[in-house]
């Protein structure tokens, strides 16, 4: 199963525009094996957030991108929920990575 197939199996479906933005953020990662879907989603979220933070200003036009970042991180934790004991460590890593992106 690919990352794209794993995402399409989530219910309920995300709104079409959000799904398209997530797909765009994932890029080539969509075709990778879903065994590492959590990591691929966080990598895409971090890249998209970095894009947003590199803009001189972000207004309402950034809302869809911010929703996509949130959705990608949510999908990552959904994937990782199969290993609940690892969640605190993964959460710390994700928060550190995203915070570093905002500060950069």
Query: What is the reported pLDDT for 54?
Result: 85
Query: What is the reported pLDDT for 71?
Result: 97
Query: What is the per-residue pLDDT across 39-87, written as a single tens digit (0 to 9) for each?
Result: 999 999 999 999 998 887 777 888 999 999 999 999 999 999 999 999 9
Lowest mean pLDDT among 3-12, 26-35, 55-64, 74-83: 55-64
Q: What is the pTM of this model?
A: 0.93
Provide the b/e sequence for 8-36 (b: ≥16 CB within 10 Å).
eeeeeebeeeebebbbebbeebbeeebee
> Would the pLDDT of 88 be above 90?
yes
């Amino acid at each position: 199963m690919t990352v794209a197939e794993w995402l399409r199996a989530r219910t309920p479906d995300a709104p079409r525009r959000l799904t398209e933005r997530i797909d765009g953020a994932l890029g080539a990662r969509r075709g990778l094996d879903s065994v590492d879907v959590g990591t691929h989603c966080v990598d895409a979220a971090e890249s998209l957030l970095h894009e947003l933070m590199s803009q001189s200003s972000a207004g309402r036009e950034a809302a869809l991108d911010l929703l996509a970042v949130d959705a990608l991180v949510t999908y990552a934790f959904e994937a990782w929920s199969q290993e609940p004991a690892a969640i605190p460590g993964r959460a710390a890593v994700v928060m550190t990575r995203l915070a570093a992106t905002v500060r950069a």
